[in-house]
C-alpha cells in the first residue's frame, strides 16, 4: 500500500519506514500508510521561516488576499476529488459539503476581508495616533506587522479540509507560512487537499508544508515568533501546554478542545409552535451531520421538564427515518465514524453516560445499508434521557459521535446553570420566541460560550444553524473548550500579527504606516486636485479662506435644506440653548462652505466624492465668524483593476482669529491614477 508523502522544503518526502495503516471507515480496508520517522523537522521550520515567510511578506496583504481568492477558485474546480477522498473517511455528500465547500468558503471570506479592510504592504494600523506632547512633535501609534515565524497547525480528525483551511486562510493573509499536521485517522483527505494546493502553483515556496503522520520532534524547534494552532483532545492540549517551546520559549499556543454544547428549548416553545419543531429538527441534524463528529454538535438538549416527553417522542420519530450505511450511497443519511478506534471510544462513552441516563434511541446496529456493521465504524444515532439533570455525567462526558442527552430543567435560571456545568463550551443555542427568556439566557450563557445562536421562527429561514462556525464570527470557547479563539474575521488575522507601539515625530509615524499624520509637514503648492495619484504625495495640501458666515447664509441654508431647527432660526430659543446661547450655523452649512473653499472646479483627476468619515463639529459657528479650511492628502488606497484609487483627505476647518477647530473630518474621493485617463 502506498505511503503518503509529507511535503517538505518544496518537494515530496517519503520515510523508509513501513509506517501505520489508515483504514477505510466503511469497509475497514487499508487505504494508505503513514510514516514520518526521520522527517527533517528542523529543516522544515527553517525553510518556512527563511524562505516561506520572506516570500509571503514580499506580497503584502492585498496580494495575499488575492491569492486566497485564487486558491478558493482553484479548489472549487476540484471539489469532486475532495468529496471522493472524504468518503473514505466516512463522510456522506452532505458531510463532505460542510467540510470541503465550508473550507473553501473560509478562503473566499478572507479574500473579501482583505479587499474591504486591509491595506497594501505589511503594516496594519491599530487605532488612531496618540498625541504625546502639547507641541505636536511627539506622538505614538500601534501597528501590526507579520510575525517572523511559522504556524504549525495540528488538526483533529473530524474536519480534514475545513480544519486546515480555516487556520491557513488568516495565517496566509497575515504573511505567516504554515506547516499542516493532520490527524492520522483522516490524513489521506488532508493529503489530497495539500496536493491540490501545491499543484495549483499559487503559493510561493515554503508557504505550505505537510506532515503526513506523527509530528516527531517538530515542536522542539519552535520559538517566540512561532505559533501552534491545535484542535483535538483536552489530553493532547495538556501535553502541548507543558511543551518546552510553549512553556519557556514563548511559542504562542491556541487550543480548541472538547465541548459539551447545549441547546435550550424555551418554556414558550410547546408542541405546535414553530420553535418546538425547529428545536427538534436542529437536534436531529446536529446528531447526524458528520455522524455527530462536530466539535460544535449538541451534546446536551436542555428542555423544560414538562416537555421532555414530547421532545423525545418527536426526535425519536425523526431519527427513525435516518438511514445508516455506506456514505457513498445517496439513500444514506449517516455514515460511519472516522475510524474503528473512534467507534470503540464512543461506545465506551455511551456506556458511561448510561449510568446516569436512559438510552431511548440507539443500541446495536444489526443492519446498515451497503456495508458490514462490524467492519465499518458504525454507531447508531443515540438519544439518552438524564434521570437527574443535575448529575455529573452528562455535563462531563463527551461522546464524540451521534450522541446527545436530553435533560429536563425547572426554569430558565436552572437551564443557564446546567449549561454552565459544561465548564465552557464552543456554542449554545436558545430556541424561543419569548424576549424575556431569550435576553436572560443570552446574558447568563455569554461568559461560558464562544458563540450563542438565538433561533426563532423569524430567523430560522436564514439561520446558519447551531453547529456551523462562520468565518466572520468567533470560533472557540472558554474553559474546557480550550480557551482559544479562531476565525472572527479580522480578529484571526491580527492574532497572527505582532502588535507594537511606535513613538516618534508625526513624520516618522506617517512614513511607517503610510498615512499623513497631523503635525507632519504639509506641501502647499499646486492644487492637489490637479494631481492624479501617480503624482500625488501624502501631505500635499491646500489651504483656503476666509469665508465669512452671515445671518443671511444661515437663513438661506435653512430655507434650501428645510432644516429649520430652532438653534439656526429662532434667536430667543437659541439664546436659551445652554450649548449655543444664540443662533449658530448648521454643521452641514459649515461642511458645504468648506467644500466651496477647497474644491477645484475644473475637470481633473478627482472623479468623485463618495463620503466623509469621522465628521465632528467641535466649535459652534456664529454669524460673522470667518472660516478657513486646510485639506491634506492623508492616505491613498489602490483600487485593483480600476483606473482610479481612493484618496482620503484630512479636512480641518478653523475659525480665524483664535484658530479654534470648528470641524474635522476625512473626505473620501476617487482620483484617477493618470490624467488624462489612459485608455485600456
Q: Cell 452671515 appears where?
A: 550
* Site membership for ligand NDP, residue 214 (CB under 6 A): yes
Write out the three cell numbers for 536: 500625488
Pairing verdict, β 497-504 and 139-146: antiparallel
With contacts defined by CB under 6 A, name the span among 3-11, 22-30, 150-158, 428-436 that binds ligand NDP: 150-158
Write out the three cell numbers for 479: 474553559
Comparing C-alpha atoms, which of 525, 516, 509 is closest to residue 636? 516
Question: What is the Cα Rg of the chain in Å?
Answer: 30
Least distance between ligand NDP and beta carbon 296 (Å): 7
Q: Cell 474546557 appears where?
A: 480
Q: How far apart are CA 600 and CA 308, in angstroms?
A: 73
Least distance between ligand NDP and beta carbon 21 (Å): 13
Of the residues 61, 98, 110, 157, which one makes contact with ligand NDP according to CB under 6 A = 157
Of the residues 254, 259, 630, 669, which one makes contact with ligand NDP according to CB under 6 A = 259
With contacts defined by CB under 6 A, name the span among 250-258, 270-278, 326-334, 558-566 that binds ligand NDP: 250-258
Around 660, how many Cα atoms within 13 Å sit in the side-chain half-sphere?
11
Q: By rule CB under 6 A, what string of x and - marks binding of each residue 102-141 to ligand NDP?
A: ----------------------------------------
* Site membership for ligand NDP, residue 151 (CB under 6 A): no
Least distance between ligand NDP and beta carbon 256 (Å): 4
Q: How far apart are CA 248 and CA 241, in angstroms?
A: 10
Least distance between ligand NDP and beta carbon 511 (Å): 43
Cβ 145 vs Cβ 176: under 8 Å: no
Comparing C-alpha atoms, which of 292, 120, 271, 133 is closest to residue 636? 120
Is there a catalytic annotation at residue 652?
no
Nearer to ligand NDP, 34 or 651 (CB): 34
Least distance between ligand NDP and beta carbon 339 (Å): 9
* Site membership for ligand NDP, residue 231 (CB under 6 A): yes
Nearer to ligand NDP, 44 or 497 (CB): 44
Q: How far apart are CA 672 and CA 532, in angstroms?
A: 5
Write out the three cell numbers for 448: 461560558
123-131 contacts, C-beta under 8 A, 24 or more apart: 123/512, 123/513, 123/514, 124/61, 124/493, 124/494, 124/497, 125/513, 125/515, 126/494, 126/499, 129/506, 129/509, 129/517, 129/518, 131/519
* Site membership for ligand NDP, residue 257 (CB under 6 A): yes
Cβ 160 vs Cβ 99: under 8 Å: yes
With contacts defined by CB under 6 A, name the span among 51-59, 126-134, 148-156, 516-524 that binds ligand NDP: 148-156
Q: Which of 151, 166, 216, 256 is catalytic?
A: 256
Least distance between ligand NDP and beta carbon 135 (Å): 53
Q: By rule CB under 6 A, what string of x and - marks binding of each residue 178-207 to ligand NDP?
A: ---x-xx-----------------------
Comparing C-alpha atoms, which of 677, 668, 654, 671 is closest to residue 528? 671
* Site membership for ligand NDP, residue 291 (CB under 6 A): no
* Site membership for ligand NDP, residue 258 (CB under 6 A): yes
* Site membership for ligand NDP, residue 630 (CB under 6 A): no
Of the residues 62, 86, 158, 195, which one makes contact with ligand NDP according to CB under 6 A = 158
Q: How far apart are CA 530 and CA 603, in angstroms?
A: 9
Nearer to ligand NDP, 1 or 435 (CB): 1
Nearer to ligand NDP, 257 or 405 (CB): 257
Of the residues 27, 236, 316, 637, which one makes contact with ligand NDP according to CB under 6 A = 236
Pairing verdict, β 540-548 and 523-524: parallel
433-442 contacts, C-beta under 8 A, 24 or more apart: 433/266, 433/268, 433/269, 433/273, 433/274, 433/275, 433/457, 433/458, 434/266, 434/267, 434/268, 437/266, 437/267, 437/268, 437/412, 438/266, 440/412, 440/413, 440/416, 441/264, 441/266, 441/412, 441/415, 441/416
Q: Where are the alpha helices (DSSP H) in 563-617?
A: 566-569, 571-576, 587-598
* Site membership for ligand NDP, residue 400 (CB under 6 A): yes
* Site membership for ligand NDP, residue 232 (CB under 6 A): yes
Q: Which of residues 503-522 bind ligand NDP (CB under 6 A)?
A: none
* Site membership for ligand NDP, residue 484 (CB under 6 A): no
Least distance between ligand NDP and beta carbon 156 (Å): 3
Q: How far apart are CA 196 and CA 73, in angstroms?
A: 12
Q: How far apart are CA 48 and CA 293, in angstroms?
A: 32
Least distance between ligand NDP and beta carbon 640 (Å): 35
# binding residues, ligand NDP (CB under 6 A): 22
Least distance between ligand NDP and beta carbon 44 (Å): 14
* Site membership for ligand NDP, residue 239 (CB under 6 A): yes
Q: How far apart are CA 189 and CA 192, in angstroms?
A: 5
Q: Which helix (H) or strand (E) holds 95?
A: helix 93-96
With contacts defined by CB under 6 A, name the span among 46-54, 88-96, 231-239, 613-621 that binds ligand NDP: 231-239
Of the residues 180, 193, 295, 455, which one makes contact with ligand NDP according to CB under 6 A = 295
Coil vs helix vs strand at 203? coil
Nearer to ligand NDP, 396 or 639 (CB): 396
Nearer to ligand NDP, 185 or 533 (CB): 185
* Site membership for ligand NDP, residue 468 (CB under 6 A): no
Nearer to ligand NDP, 4 or 589 (CB): 4
Q: How far apart are CA 624 and CA 662, in angstroms?
A: 14
Is there a catalytic annotation at residue 295?
yes
CA torsion 219→171→84→374, rounded to 10°? Answer: 40
Residue nearest to ligand NDP (CB): 232
* Site membership for ligand NDP, residue 98 (CB under 6 A): no
Q: Which of residues 26-65 bind ligand NDP (CB under 6 A)?
A: none
Least distance between ligand NDP and beta carbon 453 (Å): 17
Least distance between ligand NDP and beta carbon 230 (Å): 7
Of the residues 154, 176, 291, 667, which one makes contact with ligand NDP according to CB under 6 A = 154
Least distance between ligand NDP and beta carbon 628 (Å): 59
Q: How far apart are CA 192 and CA 158, in angstroms?
A: 15
Pairing verdict, β 262-265 and 425-431: parallel
Q: Which of 216, 275, 295, 652 is catalytic?
A: 295
Nearer to ligand NDP, 400 or 665 (CB): 400
Comparing C-alpha atoms, which of 102, 150, 196, 136 is closest to residue 496? 150
The residues that touch ligand NDP, with contacts defined as CB under 6 A, are 154-158, 181, 183-184, 214-215, 231-233, 236, 239, 256-259, 295, 398, 400
Q: Which residues are catalytic?
A: 256, 295
Amino acid at each position: 500500500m502506498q505511503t503518503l508523502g509529507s511535503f517538505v522544503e518544496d518537494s515530496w518526502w517519503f520515510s523508509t519506514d513501513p509506517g501505520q495503516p489508515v483504514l477505510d471507515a466503511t469497509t475497514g480496508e487499508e487505504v494508505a500508510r503513514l510514516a514520518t520517522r526521520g522527517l527533517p523537522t528542523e529543516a522544515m521550520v527553517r525553510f518556512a521561516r527563511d524562505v516561506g515567510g520572506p516570500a509571503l511578506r514580499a506580497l503584502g496583504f492585498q496580494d495575499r488576499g488575492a491569492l486566497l481568492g485564487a486558491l478558493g477558485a482553484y479548489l472549487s474546480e476540484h471539489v469532486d476529488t475532495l468529496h471522493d477522498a472524504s468518503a473514505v473517511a466516512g463522510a456522506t455528500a452532505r458531510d463532505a459539503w460542510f467540510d470541503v465547500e465550508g473550507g473553501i468558503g473560509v478562503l473566499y471570506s478572507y479574500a473579501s476581508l482583505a479587499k474591504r479592510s486591509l491595506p497594501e504592504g505589511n503594516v496594519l494600523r491599530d487605532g488612531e495616533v496618540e498625541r504625546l506632547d502639547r507641541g505636536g512633535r511627539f506622538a505614538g501609534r500601534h501597528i501590526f506587522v507579520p510575525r517572523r515565524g511559522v504556524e504549525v497547525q495540528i488538526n483533529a480528525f473530524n474536519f480534514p479540509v475545513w480544519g486546515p483551511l480555516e487556520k491557513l486562510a488568516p495565517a496566509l493573509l497575515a504573511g505567516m507560512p504554515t506547516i499542516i499536521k493532520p490527524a492520522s485517522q483522516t490524513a489521506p483527505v488532508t493529503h489530497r487537499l495539500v496536493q491540490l494546493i501545491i499543484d495549483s502553483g499559487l503559493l510561493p515556496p515554503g508557504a505550505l508544508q505537510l506532515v503526513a503522520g506523527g509530528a516527531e520532534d517538530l515542536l522542539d524547534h519552535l520559538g517566540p515568533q512561532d505559533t501552534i494552532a491545535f484542535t483535538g483532545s483536552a489530553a493532547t492540549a495538556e501535553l502541548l501546554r507543558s511543551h518546552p517551546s510553549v512553556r519557556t520559549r514563548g511559542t504562542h499556543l491556541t487550543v480548541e478542545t472538547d465541548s459539551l454544547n447545549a441547546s435550550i428549548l424555551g418554556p414558550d416553545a410547546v408542541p405546535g409552535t414553530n420553535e418546538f419543531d425547529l428545536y427538534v429538527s436542529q437536534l436531529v441534524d446536529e446528531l447526524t451531520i458528520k455522524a455527530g463528529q462536530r466539535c460544535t454538535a449538541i451534546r446536551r438538549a436542555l428542555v423544560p421538564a414538562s416537555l421532555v416527553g414530547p421532545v423525545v417522542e418527536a426526535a425519536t420519530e425523526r431519527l427513525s427515518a435516518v438511514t445508516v450505511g455506506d456514505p457513498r450511497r445517496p439513500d444514506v443519511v449517516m455514515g460511519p465514524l472516522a475510524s474503528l478506534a473512534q467507534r470503540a471510544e464512543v461506545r465506551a462513552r455511551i456506556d458511561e453516560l448510561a449510568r446516569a441516563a436512559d438510552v431511548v434511541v440507539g443500541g446495536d446496529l444489526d443492519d446498515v445499508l451497503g456495508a458490514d456493521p462490524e467492519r465499518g465504524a458504525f454507531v447508531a444515532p443515540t438519544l439518552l434521557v438524564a434521570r437527574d439533570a443535575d448529575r455529573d455525567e452528562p455535563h462531563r462526558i463527551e461522546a464524540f459521535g451521534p450522541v446527545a442527552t436530553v435533560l429536563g430543567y425547572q426554569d430558565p435560571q436552572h437551564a443557564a446553570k446546567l449549561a454552565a456545568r459544561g465548564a465552557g463550551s464552543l456554542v449554545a443555542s436558545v430556541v424561543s420566541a419569548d424576549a424575556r427568556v431569550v435576553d436572560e439566557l443570552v446574558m447568563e450563557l455569554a461568559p461560558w460560550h464562544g458563540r450563542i445562536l438565538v433561533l426563532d421562527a423569524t430567523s430560522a429561514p436564514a439561520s446558519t444553524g447551531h453547529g456551523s462556525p462562520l468565518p466572520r464570527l468567533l470560533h472557540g470557547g472558554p474553559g474546557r473548550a480550550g480557551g482559544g479563539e479562531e476565525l472572527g474575521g479580522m480578529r484571526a488575522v491580527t492574532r497572527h500579527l505582532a502588535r507594537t507601539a511606535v513613538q516618534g515625530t508625526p513624520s516618522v509615524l506617517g512614513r511607517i504606516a503610510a498615512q499623513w499624520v497631523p503635525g507632519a509637514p504639509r506641501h502647499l503648492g499646486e492644487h492637489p486636485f490637479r494631481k492624479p495619484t501617480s503624482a500625488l504625495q501624502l501631505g500635499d495640501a491646500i489651504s483656503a479662506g476666509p469665508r465669512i458666515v452671515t445671518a443671511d447664509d444661515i437663513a438661506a441654508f435653512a430655507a434650501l435644506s428645510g432644516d429649520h431647527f430652532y438653534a439656526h432660526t429662532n434667536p430667543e430659543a437659541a439664546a436659551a440653548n445652554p450649548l449655543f446661547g444664540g443662533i449658530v450655523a448648521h454643521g452641514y452649512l459649515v461642511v458645504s462652505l468648506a467644500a466651496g473653499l477647497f474644491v477645484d472646479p475644473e475637470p481633473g483627476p478627482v472623479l468623485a466624492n463618495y463620503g466623509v468619515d469621522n465628521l465632528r463639529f467641535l466649535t459652534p459657528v456664529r454669524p460673522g465668524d470667518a472660516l478657513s479650511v486646510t485639506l491634506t492628502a492623508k492616505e491613498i488606497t489602490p483600487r485593483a483593476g480600476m483606473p482610479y484609487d481612493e484618496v482620503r483627505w484630512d479636512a480641518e476647518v478653523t475659525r480665524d482669529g483664535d484658530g479654534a477647530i470648528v470641524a474635522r473630518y476625512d473626505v473620501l474621493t476617487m482620483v484617477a491614477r493618470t490624467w488624462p485617463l489612459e485608455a485600456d
